[in-house]
Chain A
Amino acid sequence: MAGALPDGEPVPTDGSLPDDATREVGKNGFAVYVHVPFCASRCGYCDFNTYTAAELGGGASRDEYAETVLAELALAARVIEPGPVGTVFVGGGTPTLLSAGDLGRVLEGIDRTWGLAPGAEVTTEANPESVDPAYLRQLRAAGFTRISLGMQSAADNVLRVLDRKHTAGRAPQAATEAREAGFEHVNLDLIYGTPGESADDFARSLRTVVDAGVDHVSAYALIVEDGTRMAGRMRRGELPYPSDDVAADRYLAAEAALTEAGFGWYEVSNWARPGGECRHNLLYWTGADWWGLGPGAHSHVGGVRWWNVKHPSAYAGRLAAGASPGHARELLTDADRHLEDVMLRVRLREGIPLDRVDATGAAQALADGLLEPDAYERGRLVLTLRGRLLADAVVRDVL
């Protein structure tokens, strides 16, 4: 969830949706996202919707938070009947600042409201320093099936620049603990291109995630968002700006090391061992519907995107008054939906059928070595390694 919310039209007080949207809900799958807007401290690069104060009050405090989310769920239940929930993803913030019991209650509420599909994927994000074996076992018992750990780097100097509180060894250890607690699916997040990170630092991070025995790795180039502490430090010259050329080198290193270790890319920034792909994220990229619970959370149902008010107190206040916490929404046109579909699917390993994109642009991208020739022969647009690094340019060229 990015810093500023987009503009849009107002959301009706009861959160209701146009009939066209509710009619097709769940057609391409249905997911639930839960946003937990709390962190023990804010990292310098982070522009997510998160708050460090535990006691915001009025339903927005950490202790009352699960109840507030369940209130939004009750409102959601009056708006849509989507059928079974394929995946749940709890993100933040730091979801694991809530008790395992609270997270379990929210999950149980979702199951009671719409029903979890058999074999549903249920993920929570966690910071390596905010979990221990007992907590992980409780989560597993509550029905969580997947843990995503924000490791970011195996280099202490990089973690310091990122303001992360854990030390280099903690993330792989937490990953091991998660597997021991019964989590089959564990992800480690990496950030590359941080100022001060050397090629060796990143190589060590890659070795660490490979050795940790996880089945999923996400690796993101550092994005310096406006308004963050890190952006300020760069503006003042205290930190150098990240370089796209360095980021490209790091990406190639990640691809090489992860492929070598048996991972395969399935989205531009995501690698998994066979069967380890995050199904929740795949739903985002393939036009599924989802309801996002929590302040600032985004939802999508049948071509309507909306997003909740950002501040936890405002969010709780709306719900306490029986109103939708929706801040604004947009009704997508067919053209918008097509554009989103191309924009998202081009980034996937399975790509997009060529007949859904501009033929001239695709032919040029193929000639430039940005598309896989074999897939192209079979009528699909699939990015080459170089094409993945220039994915946005390809999207612009084939739209």
Chain B
Amino acid sequence: MPGPLDPGVNVIGSTDPSRIRNFCIIAHIDHGKSTLADRMLQITGVVDPRQMRAQYLDRMDIERERGITIKSQAVRMPWVVREGDKQGESAVLNMIDTPGHVDFTYEVSRSLAACEGAILLVDAAQGIEAQTLANLYLAMENDLHIIPVLNKIDLPAAQPEKYAEELAKLIGVEPTDVLRVSGKTGVGVDHLLDEIVRQFQPPVGDPAAPARAMIFDSVYDVYRGVVTYVRVVDGRIEARDRIKMMSTGAVHELLELGVASPEMEKAGALGVGEVGYLITGVKDVRQSKVGDTVTGNNRPAKDALGGYKDPKPMVYSGLYPIDGSDYPALRDALDKLKLNDAALTYEPETSAALGFGFRVGYLGLLHLEIIGERLEREFGLDLISTAPNVVYQVITEDAKETVVTNPSEFPSGKIAEIHEPVVRATVLVPNEYVGAVMELCQSRRGSLLGMEYLSSERVELRYTLPLAEIIFDFFDQLKSKTKGYASLDYEPSGEQAADLVKVDILLHGEPVDAFSAIVHKDKAYSYGTTIAAKLQKLIPRQQFEVPIQAAIGSRIIARETIRAIRKDVLAKCYGGDISRKRKLLEKQKEGKKRMKMVGRVEVPQEAFIAALSTSDSADTKGTTKK
């Protein structure tokens, strides 16, 4: 049995850095990270088993429900090594939770930068997934020591031998170095905790230098304002200090600092290597940005820690309330979400088809989807989103450059060149689906960068793809062509010139803004015919004939016609029909109020919604728990 924790070790603010181990867990969304984290909280004794909530660290309902972690947190856990060469040694473990998805690569990179080691956690029944692989590479680039761990070894379908080999090959260790645990039963978890102390390096910093701490997370809390999570690199932050954000020079009073264990515990200071939280009373996470360096105002550091970037939206879409009177509610809701999401941008936008809404910028598809879902769930809003688009640089022949985040901003003059963002995509797929994936990537204008066998059965394909092609139905297609086995990750990798055009959809000669799209020239015709045919089916016949046209500039590339309605009258209306007819009429009149007018054409908003929602499907499957 291990001895008790050395009482001098776990003193917040003066923990000996050599006792500290800062680490994170890299895992795919359903590979059991949260369950393992819960088990660690329990085994280290920081959470009373009776108070244990399943998946303690995922605070937001939406996270808990979908089993994904959006915002990270850090938990301080004392640990006394139970076995092996360091038996009886006291340590302080800081587990830094990381977001697990492609859109949050930057946040992940900051979390990794706060650690010396990473646990690579992989489901022993599924093997590694593309997103995990991408984060693993990121961790290795950050010089983190990796402990490979297979989870869920209690499952009957677990194949630990097979996947241990795969992991060993990836990291360059022996299969026997791969630990085996079950977060569910707790098997192997104490050994893992021992190995964390044994294998990971303690943090190193200069305690005498001016304070420098890196912000790796920033969370808005209704009661406390913004809670900023930091890792102290040099010096010491005292509770009485005024602190300074090095990117902006803004100075804030410190109201409180401390550590999460996992409940917030106030402290007097945070020292070298320690991980904790700061509360300054600011109300917007934009004032406390991930990646920024915090220093003391009295003795500020000269240089910030490296690696800070401003979050930049990659994907835009229009967001509209289905009931126009919800517009102010939508604005309030976005204002609230913004407090907790430094990457969310939006500005008001008006659409003839959809009314008043917002043009919203997102980091990527998951981000888009999470925002949409939170707006619907937490704020009770019914929303429709236009097809997402990326950011284009359009250069006209007069050498003017326009940044286009909305097809409506597409310049009307002669176009010299258009640049679109591209990504480096990684697809992991069983080898029998390689052909199908290549075909899909080729049809999406991808170019193959490389292909590697992770094992005899699994292949890693690397492609350059236009981001625009990925945000449009790509993930669904990928999943359906590989029976759900493929996993995808991507990261921005610059831009390229491409032969793109703007296709407008005209209803009775009037452009319907919500359907304008920037597409590759070769796909303009199929986009035009698809949307025109869809609208032709969805828009009810009017009292006059309505042409639906797809056009590039003034050139019509596709046409459908909605024939005029000739009969709209109930045959019979006698004594017994009147109540029913009146109720029907009242309903129709209500419906008429909700009609959107495009010129004189009455279009039920559902028609627009149906036309929009069936054509684009966001990266949904990747974020739901199986």
Q: Does B577 contact A (CB under 8 A)?
A: yes
B8 at the interface (CB under 8 A from A): no
Closest CB in chain A relative to B424 CB, distance in Å: 52
Q: Return the chain A residue nearest B542 by Cβ.
A: A393
Instruction: Specify which chain B residues have a CB less than 8 angstroms from the CB of A296 in the assembled complex.
Output: 576
Q: How far is the CA of A8 from the CA of B574 in the complex (A)?
A: 19
- Chain A CB within 10 Å, residue with most, of B570, B578, B579, B589: B579
In the bound complex, how far is the Cα of B582 from the Cα of A298, in angstroms? 14
In Å, the complex CA distance between A8 and B582 comes to: 13
Instruction: Give chain A residues whose Cβ lies under 8 Å from the Cβ of B588.
Output: 392, 396
Q: What's the Cα separation between A284 and B583 when bound, in Å? A: 17
Are A390 and B578 closer than 8 Å at their CB atoms?
no
Q: Given A6-B583, A339-B582, A396-B589, is A298 in contact with B575 using a C-beta cutoff of 8 Å?
A: yes
Docked Cα-Cα span, A244 to B541, in Å, equals 11
**Complex: A391 Cα to B573 Cα, angstroms:** 12
| B567 close to A244 (CB less than 8 A) | yes
B582 A340 Cβ-Cβ under 8 A: yes
Q: A343-B581, A393-B543 are in contact. Are A33 and B575 (CB under 8 A)?
A: yes
Task: Say yes or no: B570 contacts A330, CB within 8 Å.
Answer: no
Q: Mark B560-598, 1 if CB is under 8 A from A, else 0.
A: 000001111111111111111111011011001000000
Expressed in whole angstroms, the Cα–Cα distance for A290 and B576 within the complex equals 11
A390 to chain B, nearest CB (A): 5
Task: Report A355-372 CB contacts with B as 1/0, cut-off 8 Å.
Answer: 000000000000010100
Chain B residues in 8 Å Cβ range of A375:
none
A300 within 8 A of B: yes
Q: How far is the CB of A399 from chain B (nearest CB, A)?
A: 6
Contact indicator B566/A248 (Cβ below 8 Å): yes
Residue contact B582 to A336, C-beta cutoff 8 Å: yes
Chain A contacts for B583, CB-based, 8 A? 6
For the complex, give the distance between the alpha carbons of A132 and B576 in Å.
Answer: 29
Contact of A297 with B576 at beta-carbon distance under 8 Å, contacts A248-B566, A390-B568, A396-B592 already known: yes
User: For residue B565, which residues in chain A have a CB less than 8 angstroms away from its CB?
Assistant: 244, 390, 393
Q: Is the CB of B576 within 8 A of A298?
A: yes
The answer for the CA separation of A370 and B564 in the assembled complex, in Å, is: 14
Q: What is the minimal beta-carbon distance from A41 to any residue of chain B, in angstroms?
A: 22
Chain A 364-390 near chain B by CB (<8 Å), digits 1 or 0? 000010100000000000000000111
Is B576 within 8 A of A392, CB to CB? no
**A2 contact from B567, B577, B582, B586, Cβ within 8 A:** B577
**Chain B contacts for A202, CB-based, 8 A:** none
Instruction: Kindly state whether residue A75 has any CB partner on chain B within 8 Å.
Output: no
* Across-interface contacts of B589 in A (CB, < 8 A): 396, 399
Which residues in B have their C-beta under 8 angstroms from that of A220?
571-572
Is residue A269 within 8 Å, beta carbon to beta carbon, of the partner chain? yes
Report whether A292 and B567 are in contact in the complex, using a CB–CB cutoff of 8 Å. Answer: no
- Neighbouring B residues of A136 by C-beta, 8 Å: none
A344 within 8 A of B: yes
**A223 with B572: CB separation less than 8 A:** yes
Interface residues contributed by chain B, number (CB under 8 Å): 26
Task: Given A343-B581, A396-B588, check contact A389 B576 (CB 8 Å).
Answer: no
Most buried by B among A290, A297, A339: A339
Q: A268-B569, A389-B566, A393-B568 are in contact. Are A340 and B576 (CB under 8 A)?
A: no
**Shortest distance from the beta carbon of A384 to any chain B beta carbon, whole Å:** 13
Interface residues of A in 185-236 (CB under 8 A from B): 220-221, 223
> Which residues from B are CB-within-8-Å of A251?
567
Q: Do residues B567 and A247 form an inter-chain contact, with CB atoms below 8 A?
A: yes
In this complex, what residue of A is CB-closest to B585?
A343
Assess whether B568 is in contact with A347, with CB atoms less than 8 Å apart: no
The answer to whether B579 and A392 have CB atoms under 8 Å apart is: no
Of A2, A292, A368, which is in contact with the most chain B CB atoms at under 10 Å from its CB?
A2
Question: Which one of B573, B579, B585, B586 contacts A298 once the chains associate, using CB atoms below 8 Å?
Answer: B579
Query: Would you list which residues of chain B between 237 and 290 have a CB under 8 Å from chain A?
Result: none
**Chain B residues whose CB sits within 8 angstroms of the CB of A260 once the complex forms:** none
Q: Which of B566, B573, B586, B592 contacts A339 (CB 8 A)?
A: B586
Closest residue of A by beta carbon distance from B591: A396
Q: How large is the interface on A (under 10, 10 to 19, 20 to 34, 35 or more residues)?
A: 35 or more
Complex CA distance for A347 and B578, rounded to whole angstroms = 13
What A residues does B576 contact at CB under 8 A? Answer: 1-2, 292, 296-298, 307
Contact A395 B567 (CB under 8 A): no
The 8 Å CB contact of A284, one of B568, B575, B585, is B575
Q: Is the CB of B569 within 8 A of A391?
A: yes
Please, which residues of chain A bring their CB within 8 A of the CB of B544? 368
Residues of B within 8 A of A390 (CB): 543, 565-569
Complex Cα spacing A336 to B585, Å: 11
A334 is an interface residue with CB less than 8 A from chain B:
no
Within 8 A of B (CB), among A253-284: 268-269, 281, 284
A399 to B590, CA, bound (A): 12
A305 within 8 A of B: yes
Docked Cα-Cα span, A268 to B577, in Å, equals 15
B567 contacts across to A, CB distance below 8 A = 221, 244-245, 247-248, 251, 389-390
Contact with A along B310-336 (1 / 0, CB 8 A): 000000000000000000000000000
Q: Which of A269, A388, A392 has the most CB of B within 10 A?
A: A392
Which residues of chain B are near A299, meaning CB under 8 Å? 575
Alpha-carbon gap, A284 to B576, bound state (A): 9
> Contact flags (1/0) for A1-17 with B, using CB distance below 8 Å?
11000101000000000
Q: Contact check, A343 vs B592: say whether CB atoms are below 8 A apart.
A: no
Contact A281 B569 (CB under 8 A): no
Chain B residues whose C-beta falls within 8 Å of the C-beta of A268 in the assembled complex: 569, 571
Query: When the two chains form their complex, are residues B574 and A392 in contact, meaning their CB atoms are under 8 A apart?
Result: no
Most A CB contacts (10 A, CB to CB) among B565, B575, B582, B589 go to B575
Q: How far is the CB of A66 from chain B (nearest CB, A)?
A: 21
Query: Is A245's CB under 8 angstroms from B574's CB?
Result: no
Across the interface, which residues of A come within 8 angstroms of B582, CB to CB? 336, 339-340, 343
Whether the Cβ atoms of A347 and B566 lie closer than 8 Å is no
Q: List, in ascending order, chain A residues with CB within 8 A of B578's CB.
A: 284, 298, 300, 305, 340, 344
Could you say which residues of chain B place their CB within 8 Å of the CB of A399? Answer: 585, 589
Chain B residues in 8 Å Cβ range of A223: 570-572
Q: Nearest chain-A residue to B579 (Cβ)?
A: A6
Cα of A279 to Cα of B577 in the assembled complex, Å: 18
Taking CB atoms, residues of chain A closer than 8 Å to B585 are 339, 343, 392, 395-396, 399
Contact, CB under 8 Å: B569 / A292: no
User: Would B580 and A2 count as touching, CB distance under 8 A?
Assistant: yes
Chain B residues with CB under 8 Å of A298's CB are: 575-576, 578-579
Give Cα distance in the complex from A347 to B588, angstroms: 17
Q: Give, as a whole number of angstroms, the nearest-CB distance from A255 to chain B.
A: 13
Q: Which residues of A contact B571 (CB under 8 A)?
A: 220-221, 223, 268-269
Q: Is the CB of B568 within 8 A of A391?
A: yes
- Bound-state CA distance A272–B482 (Å) is 70
- Chain B residues with Cβ below 8 Å from A305 are 578-579
What's the nearest-Cβ distance from chain A to residue B594, in Å? 13
Closest Cβ neighbor of A369 among chain B residues: B543
B112 CB, nearest partner CB in chain A, Å: 60
A-B pairs with lowest CB-CB distance, top 6: A248-B566, A220-B571, A1-B576, A391-B569, A298-B576, A248-B567
A-B contact pairs, 24 of them (CB 8 A): A6-B579, A6-B580, A221-B571, A244-B566, A244-B568, A245-B567, A268-B571, A269-B571, A284-B573, A284-B578, A285-B573, A298-B575, A305-B579, A307-B579, A347-B569, A388-B569, A389-B569, A390-B543, A390-B565, A390-B566, A390-B567, A392-B569, A393-B543, A393-B565
5 more A-B residue pairs beyond the given contacts A347-B573, A392-B585, with a C-beta to C-beta distance below 8 A:
A223-B571, A244-B567, A244-B568, A292-B576, A392-B568
